[in-house]
Amino acid sequence: MTNRSTVERTGTPPSFHWHTLPAERVAEALQSPTSGLTAAEAARRLAQYGPNRLAPPKRRGPLLRLLLQFHNILLYVMMAAALITALLGHWIDTGVLMSAVVINAIIGFIQEGKAQSALDAIRAMLSQHATVIRDGQRQEIEAANLVPGDVVVLASGDRVPADLRLVSVKELRIEEAALTGESLPVEKSDAAVSADAPLGDRYGMAYSGTVVVYGQATGIVVTTGAATELGRINQMLSDIRNLTTPLLRKVDRFGRVLALAIVAMSAVTFMLGVWWRGHPAAEMFMMVVALAASAIPEGLPAIMTVTLALGVQRMARRNAIVRRLPAVEALGSVTVICSDKTGTLTRNEMTVQRVVCAGHVFDVGGVGYAPVGDLSIDGRIIDVEHYPALAMAIRTGVLCNDARLCEEDDLWRVEGDPTEGALLVLGAKGGFTQHAGHAAWPRLDAIPFESQHRFMATYHRDSDDEPWIFVKGAPEAILDMCASQLAHDGELPLDVDYWRRMATDTAAQGLRMLALACKRAGPLEARLGFDDTRSGYMLLALVGIIDPPREEAVRAVGECHHAGIRVKMITGDHAETARAIGAQLAIGVGKPAITGAEVAMMDDAALRRVALEVDVFARASPEHKLRLVQALQDDGQVVAMTGDGVNDAPALKRADVGVAMGRKGTEAAKEAADMVLADDNFATIAAAVREGRAVYDNLKKFILFMLPTNGGEALVVIAAILFELALPLTPAQVLWINMVTSSTLGLALAFEPAEHGIMSRRPRPPGEALLSGFFVWRVLMVSVLMMTGALGLFLWELNDGTSLETARTMAVNAVVAAEMFYLINSRFILATVVSLDGLTGNRYVLLAIAACVPLQIAYTHLPAMQAIFGSTDLTPVEWGKVLAAGMLVFSVAELEKFVIRRTRLAGRLNG
Ligand code: ATP
């Protein structure tokens, strides 16, 4: 049921002008108290109005999807051939050709379904969340569960989850390009506007699908789902695009050119056969039709798609959710990864270890979020009460704070920003709880933390009704606001040198730093503005917080270095902290760190010179990230860049692989990104690079399998015609081989896991042609090898007096056996497969072979098949010879790999 129909049912006209009503009237009309709906009421409304979701775009029906499988130039050629054979009355050939076409279409249909459902599962993982107030509590829920009347809290970076009438607004700016096409953000207010105001001028409304680029607000949901403005224009946002990438398009083009070349080659073979060798035209014609049908790689498009989709699915299992498929390809050739520090390279489990006040340095005991630990000076436990600056600093940390510390089953957990959580734990260790703090010092207003200004401020009233402002933030930002400091014996002028020295000293130990300050405010005013945070503060303390590196990130950085990928850390933190943490992760060891301010001073040429050399960028802002990506790309690098804030979007879009954080990332960042990390973990990027390389490898492996097997069949026939030999395969037999092997065997390679040494290679050069010199060599070599095996066996048998039928049966089986053996060879491009893992490591390869064996036995021994294809029974000895021919291909292919590995030709041939 759509919201609109319900609105109609409840008597509200669909064109109801919410924007013309004052906010209180809207709250009344939708029975929406400021404490939000109750859970029961929300559930009732959800049942009544339906989920807040847009209907997905209409999918093609299964029948149409099946029919579309035939819409493929390669299959057109096969169908044309079938038509011609039918006109000539060669019904068996027509039957086999049409079976091959139908089998291919069905396999394509099933594969496409599999690929689609893989992407659907991933789409579900990207569901949007919204912060609401329900039962008087702030909570995060799935945006699909929003109902009219819900009170929604918006913050910068959020995507507006439904149409809202804004109730309270703090410097809210929203980018409404999704609806109005206007890319400049619109300044919002809570005021009503006239009924005829166009969408872009309804300042009191926030519309579903638009993005908050600055500020905060709360609003009441007025419409959800299809009834929203976005629903009316019926546009789906952030959909995963089509199943194609530049490489797939290239391969597709290659397939077409190949098809044309094959048709041309068949025509030449026909002419040579008829005019030069004098074969009857009708027989020759059937032969070249079969030839063309077997040489055309009709399974190519379907298998490429499924390889890609399987790769995407594997990445999703490892928490890397791909939003744009070309990223899979780019991942395989990434040369530089630029990563945030906090939460990505580090654990984001913050613990205060040190508090520096004027004249005293306090150590804080305990680990994690459990509020257990003592404060001490030089090992001597102290009482906070005796240190007024420390007491005031701890109070500031607890009050200037939006996080919540909670205990569940003896486990302490922080809801909100972990940096703030650490201050709550410090508060609890020092005897200040959040609850008591808020009761004694109620908060009147706040300026939340934004990485642009690097501080947070809150405005309070104490028990004597005196107004106070508390600030906390990066030491540089806070020091600028302070004129004095609180020392043991009262307020003193600020000793800037002391604080700078202590800050550098604390940061050099890898601690993250916050400065805390406060001031008595002027007479009570309703709002806290940036003007109130400029000067006149009293510095209380510097807090040093430890946030250790993730162990798996340390390993992943090592793996990246091994794989020829540079890792750079780009952080908002202090340069010394960043360098110290970098050193623990082996990033930028022994090299200087550069700050955002220094980046800002450099011109593009200077930045390009240092961008590759320097690995740690501190106090960096989103615009520095963008310039860095550009500088690295100008230098020819393929860059993956992480980000979480709304302002990171340009850098994420610009990077070859933009990576957003799934947990702490904003919707704006996720939308701009190519890939989302469900666990915010650097190690996941390394895993995705590995999978990206594996996907590319598998595409290569499939082509390396398919081209020579098709080529081998074709060569057998061409050679026989050219050298005027008895034809070793009849047209129907060629078509049979094609039908049994072409799509089925190669498909198994799509399931190939990443090779062991895949992260010991250099990154693939981005513009690398798929068909390198090595490729052409391998295709030619194996084609000739297959021909030698099959044709050689056939001629030998004829020479030995075996009947033509039996010799042909052996030739057919030899080609199929050679393909099966070569499928195993193809598992690894250069590494040997002669090992337990090499021979049995991919069960799909074994399954594909197991499926082909009974078909060949049936072909050889079933009387019905013998009647159709002219095959004969084979003796065990003859079967042995067939297997030997297959083994020949296998052994020579392994020998070739061995020689290439030994002579280190690989690099040169590949390059
Ligand atoms: P990264 O980009 O690696 O995630 P970061 O998270 O350390 O870096 P920011 O969140 O931009 O970077 O923080 C920059 C600085 O701002 C911190 O070093 C700290 O001093 C200060 N800061 C961080 N969080 C808060 C907060 N909640 N309130 C006040 N100041 C903060």
pLDDT band at 309 (very low <50, low <70, confident <90, very high): confident
Q: Do the beta carbons of residue 433 and residue 404 sit within 8 Å?
A: no
- Centre of ligand 1 to C-alpha 684, Å, is 23
Write down the pLDDT at residue 582. Answer: 95
pLDDT band at 1 (very low <50, low <70, confident <90, very high): very low
Q: Known catalytic residue: 340?
A: yes
Among 696, 725, 728, 700, residue whose Cα is nearest residue 712: 728
Say yes or no: do domains 4-55+125-239 and 351-546 share a fold.
no
Write down the pLDDT at residue 234. Answer: 63
pLDDT band at 45 (very low <50, low <70, confident <90, very high): very high
pLDDT surpassing 80 at residue 302: no
Query: Rounded to an integer, what distance in angstroms lies between the CA atom of residue 355 and that of residue 752?
Result: 54
**Which option is the CATH number for 351-546: 3.40.50.300, 3.40.250.10, 3.30.930.10, 3.40.1110.10?**
3.40.1110.10
Write down the pLDDT at residue 10. Answer: 39
Percentage of the chain modeled with pLDDT above 90: 45
Q: Which two tokens stand for residue 555?
A: 């390993």
At 871 the three-state DSSP class reads: coil
**Count of positions (residues) in the chain:** 911
Q: Report which secondary-structure segment, H or E, holds 420.
A: helix 418-429
pLDDT, tens digit (0-9, with 9 covering 90-100), for 516-572:
999 988 766 667 888 888 889 999 999 999 999 999 999 999 999 999 999 999 999
Query: Rounded to an integer, what distance in angstroms lies between the CA atom of residue 571 and that of residue 628?
Result: 13
- Centre of ligand 1 to C-alpha 350, Å, is 12
CA atoms within 13 A on the CB side of 66: 6
Neighbours of 63 (CB within 10 A): 8
- Centre of ligand 1 to C-alpha 533, Å, is 18
Write down the pLDDT at residue 7. Answer: 39
- Centre of ligand 1 to C-alpha 514, Å, is 8
Write down the pLDDT at residue 907. Answer: 54
- Kindly write down the DSSP assignment for every residue of 82-110, as one continuous string: HHHHHHTT-HHHHHHHHHHHHHHHHHHHH
**Which CATH superfamily includes the segment(s) 246-314+688-910?**
Calcium-transporting ATPase, transmembrane domain (1.20.1110.10)
Q: Do the beta carbons of residue 540 and residue 490 sit within 8 Å?
A: no
Q: Which atom of ligand 1 is nearest to the CA of 619?
A: 14
How far from chain centre, in Å, is Cα 681?
12
Write down the pLDDT at residue 2. Answer: 39
Q: Which atom of ligand 1 is nearest to the CA of 573?
A: 18
CA atoms within 13 A on the CB side of 856: 25
Per the listing, tokens 């020295």 go with 501
Minimal-distance CA residue to ligand 1 atom 5 = 572
Q: Pick 431 or 770 by higher pLDDT.
A: 431
Query: Rounded to an integer, what distance in angstroms lies between the CA atom of residue 702 and that of residue 707?
Result: 9
Neighbours of 780 (CB within 10 A): 14
Q: Which distant-in-sequence residues (6+ apart) come within 8 Å of 117 by Cβ?
A: none
pLDDT surpassing 90 at residue 469: yes
Among 890, 647, 640, residue whose Cα is nearest residue 782: 890
Write down the pLDDT at residue 903. Answer: 80
- Centre of ligand 1 to C-alpha 346, Å, is 13
Name the packing angle between helices 575-585 and 551-562 (round to 10°).
70
Write down the pLDDT at residue 660. Answer: 93
At 15 the three-state DSSP class reads: coil
Among 182, 205, 907, 343, residue whose Cα is nearest residue 677: 343
Q: Which two tokens stand for residue 158?
A: 């959020």
pLDDT band at 464 (very low <50, low <70, confident <90, very high): confident
Angle at 302 between CA 298 and CA 303, to 5 degrees: 95
Minimal-distance CA residue to ligand 1 atom 9 = 572
> Choosing from 93, 150, 158, 340, which is the catalytic residue?
340
pLDDT, tens digit (0-9, with 9 covering 90-100), for 374-384:
999 999 999 99
Query: Rounded to an integer, what distance in angstroms lies between the CA atom of residue 771 and that of residue 703?
Result: 9
- Kindly write down the DSSP assignment for every residue of 825-891, as one continuous string: HTTSSSS---SHHHHHS-HHHHHHHHHHHHHHHHHHH-HHHHHHH------HHHHHHHHHHHHHHHH
Mean pLDDT of 113-139: 79
Among 523, 534, 530, residue whose Cα is nearest residue 483: 534
Average pLDDT, rounded, for the chain? 87
Minimal-distance CA residue to ligand 1 atom 29 = 473
Query: Rounded to an integer, what distance in angstroms lies between the CA atom of residue 393 and that of residue 133?
Result: 31
Return the minimum-mean-pLDDT range out of 338-347, 437-446, 490-499, 870-879.
Answer: 437-446
Angle at 77 between CA 71 and CA 81, to 5 degrees: 125
CATH classification of 320-346+551-680 is 3.30.470.20, yes or no? no
Q: Which atom of ligand 1 is nearest to the CA of 620?
A: 2
Bridge partners (DSSP) of residue 455 are: 473
Residue type, 458: T
Each as own residue / partner, the long-range contacts of residues 405-414 (CB below 8 Å, 24 or more positions apart, any chain) are 405/369, 405/371, 405/434, 412/368, 412/369, 412/370, 412/371, 413/369, 414/369
Q: Do the beta carbons of residue 227 and residue 15 sit within 8 Å?
A: no
- Pocket probe for ligand 1: among 341, 419, 550, the residue whose CB has the most ligand atoms within 8 Å is 419
pLDDT band at 241 (very low <50, low <70, confident <90, very high): very low
Q: Please give the radius of gyration of the chain, using alpha carbons only, rounded to the nearest integer.
A: 35
Q: Which two tokens stand for residue 25?
A: 């009237």
pLDDT, tens digit (0-9, with 9 covering 90-100), for 101-125:
888 788 788 877 877 777 677 666 6
Mean pLDDT of 320-331: 85
Q: Which atom of ligand 1 is nearest to the CA of 340?
A: 3
Sign of the alpha-carbon torsion through 851, 853, 859, 862: negative
Mean pLDDT of 476-504: 93
- Centre of ligand 1 to C-alpha 152, Å, is 26
- Kindly write down the DSSP assignment for every residue of 300-335, as one continuous string: HHHHHHHHHHHHHHHHHHTTEEESSTHHHHHHHT--
pLDDT, tens digit (0-9, with 9 covering 90-100), for 590-643:
888 999 999 999 999 999 999 999 999 999 988 899 999 999 999 989 999 999
pLDDT surpassing 90 at residue 473: yes
Q: Report which secondary-structure segment, H or E, holds 667.
A: helix 667-672
Percentage of the chain modeled with pLDDT above 70: 94
Angle at 369 between CA 367 and CA 374, to 5 degrees: 55
- Pocket probe for ligand 1: among 404, 447, 451, the residue whose CB has the most ligand atoms within 8 Å is 451
pLDDT surpassing 50 at residue 238: no
Minimal-distance CA residue to ligand 1 atom 26 = 449
- Pocket probe for ligand 1: among 350, 454, 546, the residue whose CB has the most ligand atoms within 8 Å is 454
Mean pLDDT of 708-728: 82
pLDDT band at 58 (very low <50, low <70, confident <90, very high): low
Angle at 370 between CA 368 and CA 373, to 5 degrees: 90
Q: Which two tokens stand for residue 782?
A: 């194996």
Q: Pick 4 or 904 by higher pLDDT.
A: 904
pLDDT, tens digit (0-9, with 9 covering 90-100), for 367-410:
889 999 999 999 999 999 999 999 999 999 999 998 888 888 88
DSSP H helix total and E strand total for the chain: 33, 28
- Centre of ligand 1 to C-alpha 592, Å, is 21
pLDDT, tens digit (0-9, with 9 covering 90-100), for 59-74:
677 888 888 888 877 7
CA atoms within 13 A on the CB side of 836: 0
CATH of segment(s) 4-55+125-239: 2.70.150.10
Name the packing angle between helices 281-295 and 682-722 (round to 10°).
170
Domain ranges of the chain: 4-55+125-239, 62-115, 246-314+688-910, 320-346+551-680, 351-546
Q: Which atom of ligand 1 is nearest to the CA of 451?
A: 11
Write down the pLDDT at residue 239. Answer: 45
Query: Ligand 1 site: residues with CB under 6 angstroms?
Result: 340-342, 417, 419-420, 449, 451, 454-456, 472-474, 512-514, 571-574
Write down the pLDDT at residue 775. Answer: 85
